[in-house]
């Protein structure tokens, strides 16, 4: 079984998906972290596009452990490094590459075929898992999303301004929505959750209510 949460950057997908995973004893799959890991490696390689032609040689692995989605490239854990401002500024461009999308989609499908999972991303319900058991689309205003992301980055010790984060989010929205391959969009059968109109606990409870009503899964 796979449950998916799509939506723009900062809409609360990851935190909501992890909370649901923990409450319903599901595995959590962070598609954004996989794109960020490839972006991190792309930057390390001097932004050489040759990386995209050799993705099958990249030893990219991941696991969900004690509430943390951990990402590794070869023997290096890059879980914290992929959240840098530099990676955030380039991830939409890298994620738009069709070779990158094909590679990440294959990783996610292989993982979801082995575990009952919940995943968050941009196009999971519309492109990657069109037969997902339950699909959600989380959304919030760009301003609210920027406030959340700024607070998150400050907690990680990164010095960024709200205006800088807001500009980055709006640019990512533009790129994600207009890219040629698998653009950000709501699947027709997705349940819309307006996350800036409820508390975090309320949005998690609402999603769990829908999951339990639409599947045979139990708490």
CATH numeric code, 2-212: 3.40.50.300
SS3 content of the chain, % helix, strand, coil (to 5): 55, 15, 30
- Give the total residue count for the chain: 219
**Angle separating helix axes 142-155 and 162-178, nearest 10 degrees:** 120
φ, ψ dihedrals at 130, nearest 5°:
-65, -20
**Angle separating helix axes 98-112 and 31-44, nearest 10 degrees:** 140
* DSSP character at residue 79: T
Residue 145's H or E segment, with its range, is helix 142-155
pLDDT at 218 over 80: no
pLDDT at 21 over 90: yes
Quick one: pLDDT at residue 86?
92
Predicted confidence (pLDDT) per residue in 53-108, tens digit: 999 999 999 999 878 899 999 989 999 999 998 998 899 889 989 999 999 999 99
Quick one: pLDDT at residue 131?
94
CA distance 189 to 126: 9
CA distance 106 to 112: 10
**Angle separating helix axes 85-95 and 31-44, nearest 10 degrees:** 100
Output the six-digit token pair for 5: 């949460």
CA distance 123 to 4: 9
Burial 94-120 (b: 16+ CB within 10 A, else e): bbbbebbbebbbebbeebbeeebbbbb
The separation between CA 96 and the C-alpha centre of its own chain, rounded to angstroms, equals: 14
- The model's pTM is 0.84
pLDDT at 219 over 80: no
Quick one: pLDDT at residue 177?
85
The model's confidence at residue 183, banded by pLDDT at 50, 70 and 90, is confident
């Amino acid at each position: 079984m796979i449950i998916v949460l799509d939506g723009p950057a900062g809409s609360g997908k990851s935190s909501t998906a992890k909370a649901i995973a923990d409450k319903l004893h599901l595995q959590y799959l962070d598609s954004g972290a996989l794109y960020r890991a490839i972006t991190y490696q792309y930057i390390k390689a001097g932004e050489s596009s040759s990386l995209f032609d050799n993705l099958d040689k990249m030893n990219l692995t991941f696991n969900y452990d004690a509430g943390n989605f951990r990402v590794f490239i070869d023997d290096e854990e890059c879980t914290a490094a992929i959240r840098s401002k530099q990676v955030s500024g380039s991830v939409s461009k890298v994620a738009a590459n069709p070779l990158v999308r094909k590679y990440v989609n294959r990783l996610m499908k292989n993982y979801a075929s082995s575990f009952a999972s919940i995943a968050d991303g941009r196009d999971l319900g519309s492109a990657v898992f069109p037969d997902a058991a339950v699909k959600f689309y989380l959304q919030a205003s760009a301003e609210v999303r920027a406030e959340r992301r700024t607070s998150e980055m400050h907690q990680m010790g990164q010095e960024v301004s709200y205006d800088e984060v807001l500009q980055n989010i709006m640019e990512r929205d533009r790129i994600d929505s207009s890219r040629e391959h698998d653009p950000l969009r709501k699947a027709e059968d997705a349940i819309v959750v307006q996350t800036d109109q409820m508390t975090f606990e309320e949005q998690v409870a609402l999603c769990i209510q829908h999951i339990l009503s639409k599947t045979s899964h139990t708490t």
